[in-house]
Structure 1
Amino acid sequence: MQPRGTGVDLLLPVLPFAAMAAVAAVELSAGPEVGYLALFSIGPAFACVSGTVRRALLVGALAFVLCTAAACYDGLFGSRRATVALASVAGVTAAAALAATLRRRAERELADVRSVAEAAQRVLLRPVPTLAAGPWALAVSYTSAAAEARIGGDLYEVVPTAAGTTRVVVGDVQGKGLEAVETAAVVLGAFREAAPEEPTLEAVGARMERALNRRLEGEEFVSAVLAETTADGVVTLLNYGHPPPLVVRADGRAHLAEPARCAPPLGLAALGPAGPEAHHLRLGPGDQLLLYTDGVTETRDHAGEFYPLLERAGLLAVDHPDGALEALRRDVAAYAAGPLKDDAAMMLLRRRPDGPG
């Protein structure tokens, strides 16, 4: 759905005509002694802000006609003052047409960038299955801070295995721009290749670490959480320097699944202590697990306070996981009261209420 126009967007089309009408009224009331004729050039100057080149030229032609008519009314037509005013209108009109041409070109280039970014997002962040193995339901949400690109360095993926389990990853690449997107592609490629093959989640993480070591330079890194779910509700978590997942029980109780041992992000294993220790928990029917990136918890309000995710866990008490994530996403956006400062990815795993206990 296209966003609704703001008040400024609705005002821009009529602004040139309103400005010229105001100048005409002032000129007629002030008389020839003051001399506001050159101010008719305000019309074409405003016209280049929105609309086409043709519109800018039409507004400029109208301003030229109004300036000529006002000069005749004041008995100044042919005078130096009127000639300078008409030259000003013509010059500003030419500049407005050029500015409109450049603006339209920039808009087309931005549209191309957006289409390429959306194609890249569809390749990197493929639609995930709404139903995972066994009694699990799943939903994802991605909000990019780069509105013009609509894609950033956050990532997620879901891969079922032949053993009947489901493995997922949610991660956050250090940095922004195309380099972050390239790194995200490396992480996702390694996870998609390793998740169906490796016998343990630790082996999947090791494969991702090796892939990143071949790609990254210096101190670049990727924080991530890997999770594996089974049909009986057991979840295994590996946390690589990432915000801890949120566990929401069916009765509304919520807590953060803090890792048993802190571990460095992927790409920094050689610089830190041993890798993460597997953290096991069991989710009963109706329980939920939210994996997210720091774009959610580091969102600040007007007072500079971080988003209180644990306090807002009740927003996930919606019948469908997609609706629950949408409610949380809207609340984060409202809390920020403006564009997010960082990308925000979320994945919600919910144990079906009718699943086996």
Structure 2
Amino acid sequence: MTDTKPPSTPTVLSSMPVVVMAVVAVADVVAGPGVGFLPLVSLGPAFSGLVGGWRRTAGFGLVALVLCVALGLYDGLFEERRGYTALAAVAGVTGIGITAAVMRSRREVELASVRSIAEVAQRVLLRPVPLTAGPLQAAVSYTSAVAEARIGGDLYEVVASPHGIRVIVGDVQGKGLAAVETAAVVLGAFREAAHDEPGLVGLGERLERSVARELEGEKFVTAILAEIGSDHEAVLLNYGHPAPMLVRRDGTVDFPQPPAFALPLGLGAHGGDGPKPYRVDFAPGEQLLLYTDGVTEARDEQGSFYPLGDRAYLLKEFDAHRALEALRADLAQHAAGPPRDDAAMLLLRYHGHGEGKSVPMG
């Protein structure tokens, strides 16, 4: 077992064993043998067992035993049972502290293993998007609402297909492992169909069939699909998802809405027409931000939603990744607390067709 103190352990807790034993020793000397402070020396190894490794706990236990013997001789307690009772108390608490430290160390090793597995799962499920795809530069940000998690129910992908650059951003209903499993199904289907289907509608229908096979009851996935070709426009297909934010070259902002409401993926069997594709101008120097509702539904302390359109100026940063990081930091500051929902953002910048030079933003 490793005997290192976790980096996040507060300094106060780390110093508690020394402070407690020092206070008990001083109090015992001042008060004399009649008060019975001596057994409290065992608090030293007890606190050490909570925050330190087993070797550190054993060390404090040995110090506590020596201190107990010294104080017992000073108070004359070994002439009766009180001195030996205090020694037994210190030895017993030290043993329990060592056991607790060993068990905690094992749990930390197991947790580290689980986290490493989660990181591998993240790389497989939400693999890094390409820095450039055709005329586009891409950057992505993902914040999970689940403590210690790095993946959740939001999903994104960018695929350079023979039919153009195809993109998806989606949000699985619910949280936890079930949502992650559904996200994996959607991404797997998208990655395959993006290369095979010549039209965006056909791609969406493939996703609908895949999701319908996996989901049960009223579960669903909101999603928006985009296809960017060589004609300075983007084709969008919206399955009940928040409209993307389009930032024009002059800094003006638009949220292009679909021509009609469409049900999310997984609810196609409930009737209703599928989504209709619609086109928006998307030319060099412009930016397209696709995101999940964890962004726009983030509330501040007064209950106000995050004003995404008013924050478009944060995307003027020349580097796309730094621009998106600035937006993510502003979103976290607005929420003023742990996120209540997963929040994914995918930023696409149109830099032109193979000119090799970036177009300044804003």
TM over 0.5: yes
Q: Assess, with a 3 A threshold, how the Cα gap between structure 1 residues 336 and 71 changes in structure 2: closer, same or farther.
A: farther
Note the alpha carbon deviations across 1:52-75, whole angstroms, 9 max, x for none: 212111111211221222222222
Q: Equivalent residue for 1:128?
A: 129
One-letter identity of the residue aligned with 2:40: L
Q: Equivalent residue for 2:42?
A: 41
State how far apart, in whole Å, the 1-side matches of 2:120 and 2:292 are. Answer: 22
Q: Equivalent residue for 1:206?
A: 205
Aligned length, in residue pairs:
350
State how far apart, in whole Å, the 2-side matches of 1:5 and 1:252 are. Answer: 44
1:81 equivalent in alignment to 2:86: no
Q: Percent of aligned pairs with the same residue? A: 57
CA positional deviation for 1:110: 0.8
Note the alpha carbon deviations across 1:205-252, whole angstroms, 9 max, x for none: 110010111111111211111111122320111111212211222222
Deviates more, 1:23-32 or 1:262-271: 23-32
Note the alpha carbon deviations across 1:65-103, whole angstroms, 9 max, x for none: 212222222222343333333222222212111111111
State how far apart, in whole Å, the 2-side matches of 1:94 and 1:259 are. Answer: 67
Equivalent residues in 2 for 1:5-84, closer than 5 Å: 9-84=10-85
Q: Equivalent residue for 1:141?
A: 141
Q: Assess, with a 3 A threshold, how the Cα gap between structure 1 residues 355 and 67 changes in structure 2: closer, same or farther.
A: closer
- In structure 1, the gaps of 5 or more residues are none
State how far apart, in whole Å, the 2-side matches of 1:68 and 1:295 are. Answer: 61
One-letter identity of the residue aligned with 2:113: D
Q: 1:171 is paired with a residue of what secondary structure?
A: strand
Q: Equivalent residue for 2:165?
A: 166
State how far apart, in whole Å, the 2-side matches of 1:49 and 1:103 are. Answer: 9
- In structure 2, the gaps of 5 or more residues are 1-5
Is the contact between residue 144 and residue 343 of structure 1 (CA under 8 Å) also seen in structure 2?
yes
State how far apart, in whole Å, the 2-side matches of 1:84 and 1:253 are. Answer: 79
Q: Equivalent residue for 2:229?
A: 230
Equivalent residues in 2 for 1:175-254, closer than 5 Å: 175-254=174-253
1:109 equivalent in alignment to 2:106: no
Deviates more, 1:42-51 or 1:346-355: 346-355
State how far apart, in whole Å, the 1-side matches of 2:10 and 2:198 are. Answer: 56
Is the contact between residue 110 and residue 148 of structure 1 (CA under 8 Å) also seen in structure 2?
no
After TM superposition, the score normalised by the length of structure 2 is 0.90
Q: Assess, with a 3 A threshold, how the Cα gap between structure 1 residues 137 and 99 changes in structure 2: closer, same or farther.
A: same
State how far apart, in whole Å, the 1-side matches of 2:27 and 2:336 are. Answer: 41
Q: 1:347 is paired with a residue of what secondary structure?
A: strand
Q: 1:199 is paired with a residue of what secondary structure?
A: coil
Q: 1:310 is paired with a residue of what secondary structure?
A: helix
State how far apart, in whole Å, the 2-side matches of 1:11 and 1:231 are. Answer: 61
Which 4+ runs in 1 deviate beyond 6 A?
353-356
One-letter identity of the residue aligned with 1:279: Y
One-letter identity of the residue aligned with 1:55: R
CA positional deviation for 1:201: 1.0
Aligned residues: CA RMSD = 2.1
State how far apart, in whole Å, the 1-side matches of 2:265 and 2:80 are. Answer: 76
State how far apart, in whole Å, the 1-side matches of 2:66 and 2:271 are. Answer: 74
State how far apart, in whole Å, the 2-side matches of 1:256 and 1:22 are. Answer: 65
CA positional deviation for 1:5: 5.1
Q: 2:308 is paired with a residue of what secondary structure?
A: coil
State how far apart, in whole Å, the 2-side matches of 1:144 and 1:326 are. Answer: 15
